[in-house]
Structure 1
């Protein structure tokens, strides 16, 4: 049952995020109230993914080598940086068209590197496929991209500091459940 809950959570995540791209007329008819509905669907999807993942039996598919923990942590720093770059005021936001989705994709790959069980493959693989699909759908709908103007270097310095703080907070919270550093 937990495995089904996990899959349902991933499916709702996909649906909630892609709804306005797949059914723009239906989303437009919902008006401003639609934002709340979509947010609620996404909130439920996160809860379903958490409870489904935590409740699913561990079924090993592959056994990650110990060195992947180092690569995971490096990739997590990059992912957090890119997630923040999408909202930063510095120059980093001009590097990529979809910094947040690229950061999200890196986050999923990093977690696939260190988790070889079936539930992790469904969770992180499903979310990674969603982020790549989102990039494709956005690029197809709006092929032209106008690079935003570069901001001040101070915005990038602030982004680096925030990245390090967020990484430390995530690692601290993560260590309650699974130690995220080499053993």
Structure 2
């Protein structure tokens, strides 16, 4: 469980560094140029690896019994989460209406997984990453209180986002099945 917690701490620290220590982040960027982004990306990659290994290697410690209906809602929320992750890069009309689509996607992903996993490792991973997403939105809103929505979007962009979201959701479900976690109700 130590690797899992270390991965979560690294993930949160790397993402919040820019907001909580802007002078230090700016100094790092001045010293390293674009290399600073590479360092942050490497820290995030290490964080993800630690979270995956820490989660997979954690002993099962029961915390709560997930509800029976949780799997149904989980799948719906996961489809929404996948779509939210894509909104920020899409030409969908939703992009103009949402300030933090990826963070909302992360929060939705976290809640969805808490509906189907009642063990301590899941509570730590999904619960803390969900709380991180909320903290990140608050930090961004405080640092940049004025938001200029993206201009554009079309019905074609909405349809493309929907199709890509369904395909990516199918790939994720396939990977979960391959790993032994069949995501759909029996």
CA distance in 2 between counterparts of 1:54 and 1:114 reads: 16
State the partner residue of 2:185. 182
> Which residues in structure 2 correspond to 1:112-151 (within 5 Å)?
112-151=114-153
What whole-Å deviation, never above 9, does each CA across 1:29-70 have from its counterpart, x for those lacking one?
Answer: 222211011001000000000000000000010111221000
Runs of 4+ aligned residues of structure 1 deviating over 6 Å after TM superposition are none
Mapped to 1, the partners of 2:10 and 2:52 lie a distance apart of: 13
TM-score normalized by the length of structure 2: 0.95
Aligned length: 181
TM-score of the aligned structures, taking structure 1 as reference length? 0.96
> What residue ranges of structure 1 are gaps of 5+ in the alignment?
none
Q: CA RMSD in A?
A: 0.9
Are the aligned partners of 1:66 and 1:182 in contact in 2 as well (CA < 8 Å)? no
Unaligned runs of 5+ in 2: none
Following TM superposition, by how much is the alpha carbon of 1:151 offset from its aligned partner in structure 2, in angstroms? 1.4
- From 34, 41, 66, the equivalent of 2:43 is 41
Equivalent of 2:85 in 83, 86, 102: 83
Find the residue that maps to 2:115 and give its secondary structure.
helix
Aligned residue number for residue 13 of structure 2: 15
Report the counterpart of residue 24 of structure 2 in structure 1: 26
